[in-house]
Amino acid sequence: MNYRKTRAEINTAALKHNLRWVRAASGSASILGVVKADGYGHGIKPVCDALEHEVDAFAVGFTDEALALRAACPASKHSVLILEGCQTAEELKLCVDKNFSTVVHCLQQLELLEQASLKQPLDIWLKIDTGMHRLGIATDQADLFVKRLEASSNVASVTLMSHLANADTGLPLNHFQRQQYEAIKRTYPEHRRSLHNSAALLNPQLRGEPESKDWVRSGLLMYGVNPSELTEIQKELIPVMSLKAPIIAIHDLKKGDSVGYGSQWTAAADTRIATVAIGYADGYPRQCMNGTPTFVNGQRASLVGRVSMDMITIDITHIDDVAMGDDVELWGENIDVREVARCADTISWHLLTGTSVRVPRVVKG
């Protein structure tokens, strides 16, 4: 039981709706549900339970996250891809025992795999750097790596993948990375591959038509948030997380009164404010500016004053019948998380994954 009513409501029906939108946009491709960072902050168990029959496999960041998924959802039959790959021989043995597949993105990981003593071979995803320069082998090393992987008794299959640096925008690097990827497809037509993430599905430079050998890596889209700056489809999605908190105080300020630490906001006229039980310790960003929107009793209300560790204050002067205990939505179905992110000079990924563990996830739908 939680006495504090601050919570993140997780709409699993919305999750399924969004994933089906992704599926329709992905042609005949397989869908990899990306659930790293505790299901993008939504909770690994409700997310994976809802998506078990909607995706073709799951992906996480690293081995500990893969183990957490198996512990939370022991009945899941899906393979789990470890996107950062394995760093030790022990992790490779866990991959065999737990039905994990793993990325190989460097020579050290290739050698570790070749030298491992495994009970059965693993499905390997070879990451090729087409221009992001974060993880992956150089394109001119691909042939050597593919041959060595295919020669290893520890390898069951090889999927070729790359990662886009600017899928959410129209920067020229997109064209170069797409050209590199198309060359890889032509060189290895028999292999499965993966380039498209959520934003790439919406980018005219990259969209194409995913084929049956492709894997689409579905991240932010399935959580109901449009990742693209180029294609606006937010109305077709349903936000999965609604972050809500109760009003715990109401005060009437006189013109000239200030509120909060640093007295950074001063009332220009007589003003009624509400104090809301959420703060930066809950993941609501401290850098949110005055005017950041919230939603209460069917209307938008602006943040006033600095975000504290446990509380914020909002201007409710224009809203009738606001009472103690009323819910305030910080983001969700009525307040676009992208708008809040812009007010905090950050991104929606940051807000969702940064929602604190002290905020209970309440599953709806």
**Tens of pLDDT along 298-315?**
999 999 999 999 999 999
* Residue 85 and residue 60 in contact, taking contact as beta carbons nearer than 8 Å: no
**pTM, two decimal places:** 0.94
Q: What is the pLDDT of residue 207?
A: 64
Query: What are the tens digits of pLDDT across the range 219-228?
Result: 999 999 999 9
Bridge partners of 273, per DSSP, are 251, 315
Query: What are the tens digits of pLDDT across the range 92-127?
Result: 999 999 999 999 999 999 999 999 999 999 999 999
Q: What is the pLDDT of residue 171?
A: 87
Q: Is the pLDDT of residue 211 over 90?
A: no
Residue 190 burial class via C-beta count within 10 angstroms: exposed 0-12, middle 13-18, buried 19 and up: exposed
Q: Is the pLDDT of residue 209 over 90?
A: no
Of 192, 159, 196, 158, residue with least CA distance to 177: 196
The domain 12-228 is classified under which CATH number: 3.10.560.10, 3.20.20.10, 1.10.357.10, 3.65.10.10? 3.20.20.10
Residue ranges of the domains in the chain? 12-228, 241-364
261 is catalytic: yes
3, 244, 255, 261: the catalytic one is 261
What residues have CB less than 8 Å from 227, skipping those under 6 apart?
167, 168, 198, 199, 202, 219, 220, 221, 348
Query: What are the tens digits of pLDDT across the range 14-59?
Result: 999 999 999 999 999 999 999 999 999 999 999 999 999 999 999 9
**12-25 and 44-51 helices, crossing angle to 10°:** 50
Q: What radius of gyration, in Å, describes the C-alpha atoms of the chain? A: 23
178 labelled ligand-binding? no
Level-2 CATH architecture, domain 241-364? Beta Barrel (2.40)
Fold match flag (12-228 vs 241-364): no
36, 127, 213, 244: the catalytic one is 36
Structural element, H or E, at residue 7: strand 7-11
213 is catalytic: no
Alpha helix segments (H runs only) across the chain: 12-25, 36-40, 44-51, 63-72, 89-98, 107-115, 142-151, 173-187, 198-201, 337-343, 348-353
- 213/123 Cα distance (integer angstroms): 15
pLDDT range class, residue 170, cuts 50, 70, 90: confident
Neighbour count for residue 243 (Cβ, 10 Å): 27
Instruction: State the residue for tokens 């201007």.
Output: 315
309 labelled ligand-binding? yes
Q: Is the Cα dihedral 101, 223, 228, 341 positive or negative?
A: negative
- 286/303 Cα distance (integer angstroms): 11
At 31 the three-state DSSP class reads strand
